[in-house]
Structure 1
């Protein structure tokens, strides 16, 4: 495995050096948040805005995706055509008809027609969620509404996103809640906290998970998730079960392990095998599988293991428990937008909901489909493919507008940082590509980026295997701790 990652690193470096030497250009980034796989997506908030099953953030939102070349940002449409020129120092995803971009003068909010809506006095900004956008100023966080009016002053050490009338905030290492006007609703006092969902909020204090009602009262303790499809995971003396938003036990704590609800079903384990129950606790799919994952698009991923430890193959079942794809793939992902990424002989491709191979297993990287598009990678070149067969590549010199480049190319953010928008220096006219300092910096950044990608591939493979071998410790609600 290490040898394969090392070979990938060497090949990728040679390809990148050859590409830049021959003058072939590329979009350095697509999206505005760097994922662990080395691609750049946009995410509202890496702490709070991940869905119940940790799905990948979408590439396109509102049919636009931010792209970057040589430190300058713009947007492409779903055909890969640049519709907002690459002139900004940074950019967020579009959300609710708005996006934040960085200019030499500061941060501004634009619409899909690239019209400036308002300027925002801050150093960072994030996409809108439920009518509010988080921003950072002088190291503190606040929120603005759709008109650019500050409704929550920048006074918090960190903040989540707007949900059900409240926002998670952090002060001096403690978490609490404010309303959409910035009024303190629950004084910061918890070790961790999540957004309100289903009329309740999940918080932790002294290692104990609790649910709070909209009045701030503790509903129940010993829970391990927020409310998802009306239920929260809890643990009793005899196993795992579920409570509702009032704290009442809905599904008895009798299961050896349990995942989180999805599409009206819950994957649970009994006598070492996984099956599915409904939201009332009735068994709907027999306990036949060594591993099982939540339903998505009406299909669940399952796996078998001869020794109960190492996974022998991944497959899929429908809502009736019928096998639509046998457990024959060496790796796989859950369905998204009617497609699932599957791996065979170390290469990734896609199948549809009937189990038909619609994209051959020929890629080294394959992300989930979102809004009919997905990112794939091969030999250091990442492309966007469409579920209808349309595709375009990020590496396209001829379609990139000749825009000025900044005096100094901003350094890449680490993968664990949040999307950042920083005012950049005044741009200058670019020199010839062969002698431009910006080109040299771009080459260095690209080579370092591919090196990091290869290292991440190795780490990702190791972590995947560790995660699956520690399956009991990482299932379902326990991830929400």
Structure 2
């Protein structure tokens, strides 16, 4: 008997699931839309002007004006579940898709396609209950249990019970990244983008790590990197580590900060200069300070890029080289350019350029290839091969810089360090690492 009951229950459950997963839209003679199950039984009467496809177990239902091709224009939305049950009667001017357990809803003015222009946002749960009424001018989805909203012209964060975790004291707050967000107090445009004002930093608990009194602000490793009146400063725990004496900072890594000052080329003094239109002329000298504020590498470089491996690419007297954290030269200043891969920031091999020819170096500055080639391709470096080109002919060298395939070919594709697909005079075949033809 128990077995029969269990089988009956299982069948009913399966039937419900099956029905819920096979609802189809249909139109009445009047042009209204409803839903049928797989047996053609009407489960939702055709009284709607549009029904969206199901997403995360729910479909939006719409009553109102439609565009020429049938999509919603102006009207109200509700929700139906996959059983065809209406869980939210059409009353919102927009309903967003569910983000895990809740969905944003909007009441207010929209434009074609029912996209919000001006109004109020709230939230509903998957039962259709309005868990947060539409009281907020703007609202993002919940993240880590909190939600960024705009209330009475100010931005803050609330929890699921509408407690203000971060008070409504700011005009803009960025999204949290690694537990931190930048705050802003000042003027914004209609979309909430910053125009003019002051910046600070908070953590995800709402603690103000940097008050919003600076022209720019960021926070890393317990240090506040701030700018005021176009001067860079470094703070920690409210104490000023670096006074506002530098024109800017370009990066921070391994305990050193890459700083710069603008240079007046006419006098060689380190001062900001401007053109006739008030635009800053970017002629700079770069150096490095530590987190105690000490200038550890003097400001003598015309350009600088800080790498993750405790080295820096710097430019002096018109040429690029590489120095270490002590300011010692690791790679001579003889290159017109040193190229950093888009990924890795100095963790991968880098191309060098000198007198129109390319070479490459290791991340530690060791020279692999002298700049003797029109082009080099480092894509196959993990296979121990570099494809090089001169005078439109291609060849290959190994990572020791030794030529393994002569520069005789119109095209080369590397299969591995022992097999190469080559093309010459419109003939294509394979060769080994000695350049010998193979099958």
TM bracket, shorter-chain basis: 0.3 to 0.5
Q: More helix by proportion, 1 or 2?
A: 1
Rg bigger for which structure? 2
Of structures 1 and 2, the one scoring higher in RCO (CA 8 A, sep 6+) is 1
